[in-house]
Amino acid sequence: MKIVSWRQIISTTSSATRKSSRRGPPRFELMGGPVCLEFVNTLDDRYGGQPKELLNSYIDLVHFGEDTGILSDLDVDCLVERSTETPEAGQRALRTAIEMREAMYAVFWAVVKRKPVPGAQLLLLNQFLQAAAQHVHLAPGRGHFEWQFDTAHTDFETVLWPIARSAGALLASDQLAYVRACAAKTCEWLFLDESKNHARRWCDMTKCGNREKVKRFYTRNKAASN
């Protein structure tokens, strides 16, 4: 597996990181920042009446890892090949990934909405964190040691380890206070607000933000004409 430092895990997934590990056009819209929030957003339109699942196969999960830069080209090739040889194992890993995603969502959503964190989902998330912890080790870095993930091209759940650690790092950081939900009620994707005054409202101003601006403009004009 690609070596990912602890500093990278909590930081946002930069476009440079994505480009270095992606060989084709992106398959996922990435705007949440930390990879754990991007992962939560792989169930689209949660509140639109018809939720859209973006992880419909294990290959989709691998492509998510590729787009976010947590899997290298070699990781992707190996995992795709193995999932073709043993599709049942890939499907089991996908079910585990979705279970982890929904536990993350429940915890982060409770934080965003200032509601009690569901104990069962936090317990489940902790179990995933403990599993991920078995695959990280300290290694010398530039002037300090770094957490690095093991190289494991044979474990179908390898893509889940940095996602789980990302969630744990964010939940334990002072950045947690800036996790937001998109203000568009049909969207409500989660993102990390890193704006200067922490007043960001939309997952993407060019999409949800622009739609809301057009909607308000139409409503004002209609009211003025009546």
Q: Write the secondary structure of 49-108 as one string of H (helix), E (strand) and C (coil).
A: CCCEECCCCHHHHHHHHHHHCCCCHHHHHHHHHHHHHCHHHHHHHHHHHHHHHHHHHHHH
Query: What CA–CA distance (Å, rounded) separates 208 from 182?
Result: 8
- At residue 206, the pLDDT reads 67
Amino acid letter, residue 122: L
Q: What is the pLDDT of residue 101?
A: 98
- Listed residue (168, 176, 166) closest to 198, CA to CA: 176
Residue-range domain boundaries for the chain = 6-225
Convert the pLDDT of each residue in 172-206 to its tens digit.
999 999 999 998 888 889 999 999 899 888 888 66
Residue 18, judged by CB atoms within 10 A of its CB (0-12, 13-18, 19+), counts as: middle
Q: Residue 142 in 3-state DSSP?
A: coil
What's the token pair of residue 216? 């308000």
Q: Give the per-residue pLDDT at 7.
A: 45
Confidence of residue 163 (pLDDT cuts 50, 70, 90): very high
Tell me if 138 sits within 8 A of 152, measured CB to CB: no
Share of the chain above pLDDT 70, in %: 79
What is the dotted CATH code of the domain comprising 6-225? 1.10.3300.10
Vertex 1, ends 167 and 5: CA angle to 5°? 50
User: How high is the pLDDT of residue 23?
Assistant: 62
pLDDT band at 215 (very low <50, low <70, confident <90, very high): very low
Rounded to an integer, what distance in angstroms lies between the CA atom of residue 218 and that of residue 224? 10
Task: Judge whether 129 and 169 are in contact, CB under 8 Å.
Answer: no
Confidence of residue 9 (pLDDT cuts 50, 70, 90): low
Amino acid at residue number 133: A
39 contacts 64 by C-beta, under 8 angstroms:
yes
The enclosing H or E element of 187 equals none
